[in-house]
Chains A and B, each alone.
Chain A
Amino acid sequence: MTPQAGFMVVAPLTRGRESAVRELLAGMNFEPGRCNPLNSLVPFGRLERLHFARIVVLDDQTLDDISAYGRPREDYPLSVAFLGDFDGDYDSFLKELVAMAGSGLRQIFANCSGFSPGCDLLDWLKSHEQRPATYYANWRGRTVRQCREEAALRRALVDHLQQNPEVASLAAPELRVRLREFVRAEQAADRLTLTPEAPTPFGWRLRNTLHAIFAVPVLAVELLAWGVAALFLLRAREKSDPVIAPRPDPELAARLFALEDHEIKNQFSAIGSLKPGIFRRWTLTVLLAAIDYTARHVYVRGRLARVHTIHFARWVFLDGKKRLFFASNYDGSLESYMDDFINKVAFGLNVVFTNGIGYPRTRWLFLDGAKDEQTFKYYIRRHELATEVWYDGHAGLTALDMQRNTVVRKGMETGPMTNQEADEWAALL
């Protein structure tokens, strides 16, 4: 099994270089929202381990919100973030990235302060890495190659059935036998490839197991200590924290709209400031660690709680935990994504985002909050960032498509099935 991981390079732009960078980034797209996978700067499409990537200017529209707490606006430097999700280990992927797109990346980061043309790009990228506090992947071990090969397999099977009605009319068990013969023949003729699963890297497995075990007592103690403090500190804050969620600015909304729904998947990037004070920072640190634990050890097979549409997501602290960045890749439109949030995992969003300035009022961290549907949607839109460049390594495939295709493939590779199993398998064709 090849595990998935992410990278995220964040670097402040040199003053006055914002429009130059935006222009450069716009040149990587066919049109806003549609990235050219073989653009000359970063030809994402050539990176065969890359699931998703995006480049986004962290242009926070909500920096004035902190005045609700009587504090002055913080003038963070405008930064550019380059992040993505890939198969395998970090070091080798970054090496590949630099080899494939070194000159283009230099062109982009030349607009960042502290970047000198003579520097070692790999070192520079690594030194600007921002590790996520929480990282989620839809299906651990499912590689880009696997997604593509299994999609091709299913397409070949469906076409074969279409051209051979006598096969399509067979009962499920016989059908499976016949299709297996077909697949073997196609593989032999090199028209289909189904790469076997790679062995799980020993180091990764060891680290993961140790984390699964030893993070539990640490988290338990932290959660307990925090829980006791929260009993005294939480409700008073929840009752008085201001909600800041006016209707989104129509121009910003239109700019975000233009980037969406070019294919079945979409990206979402957002940023916001934490509520001031050590309690909120502590709360968020502990809870994101707890959620990260579940994402690492529990939600590794297609669902984050009840939500099945998120491919990759991450929460990242910025600026000494004063700000939080969120990024995800999901199926469907933002409206349906937000509805999933509200109706299925409001509690999960609440515990995290209620620590951000302006979030709809929660009760005991878990309750209400996102259930104030319209206010929540305004809040989301208001914190959203216009993602200049977004690449999807398996455009057109939803998480459920990938899940189905994997089951279809298993039916071609595993041994005997009961009749009922065969029926369920045949239904997926």
Chain B
Amino acid sequence: MKEVDFSDVQGMARFGFSHLAECHYLLLRVRNPDAAREWLAAAPVTTAAARKPPPANALQVAFTCAGLRALGVGEEVMAGFSAEFLAGMAGDASRSRRLGDLGENAPENWYWGAPGYRLDALVILMTSHEELAAWKRTVCSGRWEDGFEVLETLTTSDLDGREPFGFIDGISQPVIDWDRRRNVAKDQLDYSNVVSLGELLLGYPNEYGKYTDRPLIDPPAGGASVLHAAEEVPGKRDLGKNGTYLVFRTLEQDVTGFWSFLRHATGSPEAAIRLAEKMVGRTYDKGAPLAPESANAIEGVEAKAGGPENQFTYDADPRGTGCPIAAHIRRANPRNADLAGRPEGLLARVWNLLGGGPKGFQVDVIASTRFHRILRRGREYGQTVAPALAMTGQGVPEPRGLHFICLNANISRQFEFVQNAWIMSGKFSGLPDESDPLLGPVGNQFSMPRQSQCPVRITGLPRFVTVRGGAYLFLPGLRALRYIARAASTVSSQS
């Protein structure tokens, strides 16, 4: 198995760069393709190669399909990208229905990324404190001015690992199988936090042991010789190799609305915090899961000194009396395996497949998690409001929220599935009409199962999070970047 060439992977696929607390997202439109390509060819893009000490700044570059076209990537190459990427996040009404981008969330209302808003590229700049302006001057030099129009500079804030509602964010992430040791040939009987490299990067086998479709090019097609060879198709060059799709959504959070609603619904600040914890599925102060700790080791979860943050599944809490079934983290990662009930041995497995496994309402109703993992890389924006203040309805009324970013190799099977079937679905795991209490207003309710009683149901739940922008982008590998930077010469040499 060939080792991964980290110097060909953009750094954010491997690192969160949390030590680089300052970050700007530049939304770009190509002004002059030649100048843009020249800038790209010289751009100091940060790779995933480990560096000691870690880099003091970082630059990442991603493109929409409009951007690749603007830079001269040919249609026959473009056709190799996934249908979701080609259509775009706001590309059609059906996608918006599936993603829950309706009403206030509808693309027509977005600040950026609405239909007709031509976004070409995203540049991510990250530095340590107070270095951003200097880094921006360094990066945005040469042919930058001629090459790009900056449509928007999205700023971020360092909220010390917490999202604007106040909860610790980003606790659970999949562990990527960088060493390519994972064997997915068999049914996976236990939840594992490790996923195949091909779930993150194109050009490697995914959880089905298959290579996700991406543009493969015949080498003579000018410029393609700079690309890695495709692993599974002899004679082809792989434009996707070491690249991934980057899903970007600006999610505005109504922090005062959130805490004052909870305060009102529960009657006391303490109870409001407890309700918020139920909605999230973790405790407010430490981020400890509400579901009980699992006694068995979980592959890809390391024992941490701070507590069992990810040492759990929902097997011991099937009815959700600890962590409600509708809770955010339970939807975003249901932590299940391929077959319910761990059938061992061939006969037991066959019997299970035929429907002889565990019976009962809400048993074995959630899709196997490992096919639907995403790697999150977002950052917060705006300033925080302490819950106590927010509960009184005060706090500076400024936009705040999350610039949600996730990386995945198959947008429809990973991001869109999680968003559609788990987060925004009113029917997740057999629930009656309630979606993610934080992210969705579907059903406007949230229920908390109790022992020996009917569930407590919070009704009239308003929307706390509003989509303000979004796009599907391609985060290419370094060689692919070089190919894109040469795309024009490719086109002219072909004609």
Chain A CB within 8 A of B294 CB: no
Are the CB atoms of B319 and A427 closer together than 8 Å?
Answer: yes
B352 to chain A, nearest CB (A): 8
Name, among B83, B213, B319, B427, the residue most crowded by chain A CB atoms within 10 Å (CB to CB).
B427
Chain A CB within 8 A of B493 CB: no
Proximity string of chain B (391-430) to chain A, C-beta cutoff 8 Å, 1 when within and 0 when not: 0000000000000000000101100110011000111001
Chain A CB within 8 A of B284 CB: no
B210 to chain A, nearest CB (A): 6
Contacts of A308 in B (CB 8 A): 364-365
Are the CB atoms of B83 and A332 closer together than 8 Å?
Answer: no
Question: Which of A199-207, A236-244, A395-403 lies at the interface?
Answer: A395-403
Interface residues of A in 364-406 (CB under 8 A from B): 371-374, 396, 398, 400-401, 403-404
Contacts of B340 in A (CB 8 A): 306
Proximity string of chain A (171-198) to chain B, C-beta cutoff 8 Å, 1 when within and 0 when not: 1100100000000000000000000000
Chain B CB within 8 A of A90 CB: no
Number of interface residues of A (CB under 8 A): 57
Chain A CB within 8 A of B183 CB: no
A39 to chain B, nearest CB (A): 22
Question: Which of B165-173, B266-274, B353-361 lies at the interface?
Answer: B353-361
Chain A CB within 8 A of B51 CB: no
Interface size class of B (residues with CB under 8 A): 35 or more
Contacts of B455 in A (CB 8 A): 427, 429
Contacts of A172 in B (CB 8 A): 452-454
Report the separation of the CA atoms of residues A162 and B95 in the bound assembly, to the nearest whole angstrom: 35
Are the CB atoms of A305 and B354 closer together than 8 Å?
Answer: yes
Contacts of A262 in B (CB 8 A): 97
Chain A CB within 8 A of B141 CB: no
Name, among B94, B354, B454, the residue most crowded by chain A CB atoms within 10 Å (CB to CB).
B454
Partner of A332, one of B352, B425, B432: B425
Report the separation of the CA atoms of residues A403 and B363 in the bound assembly, to the nearest whole angstrom: 12
Report the separation of the CA atoms of residues A372 and B205 in the bound assembly, to the nearest whole angstrom: 12
Query: Which residue of chain B is the closest to A374 with respect to CB atoms?
Result: B213
Chain B CB within 8 A of A222 CB: no
Are the CB atoms of B453 and A170 closer together than 8 Å?
Answer: yes
- Given known A175-B454, A258-B94, A403-B361, contact A336–B367 (CB-CB < 8 A): yes
Chain A CB within 8 A of B160 CB: no
Interface residues of B in 69-116 (CB under 8 A from A): 79, 83, 86, 92-95, 97-98
- Given known A308-B365, A373-B210, contact A257–B454 (CB-CB < 8 A): no
- Given known A258-B93, A373-B208, contact A171–B453 (CB-CB < 8 A): yes
Are the CB atoms of B454 and A332 closer together than 8 Å?
Answer: no
Chain A CB within 8 A of B382 CB: no
Are the CB atoms of A401 and B454 closer together than 8 Å?
Answer: no
B93 to chain A, nearest CB (A): 7
Interface residues of B in 196-246 (CB under 8 A from A): 206, 208, 210, 212-213
Contacts of A257 in B (CB 8 A): 92, 94-95
Report the separation of the CA atoms of residues A273 and B361 in the bound assembly, to the nearest whole angstrom: 38
Partner of A169, one of B92, B353, B416, B453: B453
Chain B CB within 8 A of A149 CB: no
Query: Which residue of chain A is the closest to B360 with respect to CB atoms?
Result: A424
Question: Which of A127-135, A246-254, A282-290, A318-326 lies at the interface?
Answer: A246-254
Chain B CB within 8 A of A166 CB: no
Are the CB atoms of A335 and B454 closer together than 8 Å?
Answer: no
A312 to chain B, nearest CB (A): 18
Chain B CB within 8 A of A423 CB: yes
Chain B CB within 8 A of A96 CB: no
Query: Which residue of chain B is the closest to A426 with respect to CB atoms?
Result: B454
Chain B CB within 8 A of A226 CB: no
Proximity string of chain A (401-429) to chain B, C-beta cutoff 8 Å, 1 when within and 0 when not: 10110010000000000010001001111
Are the CB atoms of A423 and B452 closer together than 8 Å?
Answer: yes
- Given known A373-B210, A374-B210, A423-B452, contact A339–B94 (CB-CB < 8 A): no
Report the separation of the CA atoms of residues A331 and B426 in the bound assembly, to the nearest whole angstrom: 11
Report the separation of the CA atoms of residues A396 and B357 in the bound assembly, to the nearest whole angstrom: 28
Partner of A426, one of B364, B412, B421, B452: B452
Proximity string of chain A (253-267) to chain B, C-beta cutoff 8 Å, 1 when within and 0 when not: 110011011101000
Contacts of B433 in A (CB 8 A): 396
Query: Which residue of chain B is the closest to A342 with respect to CB atoms?
Result: B208
Chain B CB within 8 A of A234 CB: no
Report the separation of the CA atoms of residues A162 and B458 in the bound assembly, to the nearest whole angstrom: 9
Are the CB atoms of A306 and B355 closer together than 8 Å?
Answer: yes
Closest 6 CB pairs of A and B: A257-B94, A400-B430, A429-B454, A305-B355, A426-B454, A336-B421
Extra pairs beyond A169-B453, A253-B83, A336-B367 (15, CB < 8 Å): A154-B432, A168-B453, A171-B453, A172-B452, A175-B454, A247-B213, A264-B427, A336-B421, A343-B338, A343-B371, A400-B365, A401-B430, A404-B361, A426-B454, A427-B454
Chain B residues in the interface with A (C-beta under 8 A): 79, 83, 86, 92-95, 97-98, 206, 208, 210, 212-213, 319, 338, 340, 352-355, 357, 361-362, 364-365, 367-368, 371, 410, 412-413, 416-417, 420-421, 425-427, 430, 432-433, 449, 451-457, 459
Task: Give 25 A-B contacts (CB < 8 Å), ordered by A residue.
Answer: A158-B457, A169-B453, A247-B213, A253-B83, A257-B92, A257-B95, A305-B353, A305-B355, A306-B355, A331-B427, A332-B420, A333-B98, A335-B98, A335-B413, A339-B413, A340-B367, A343-B338, A373-B210, A374-B410, A398-B427, A400-B430, A401-B430, A404-B430, A423-B451, A427-B454
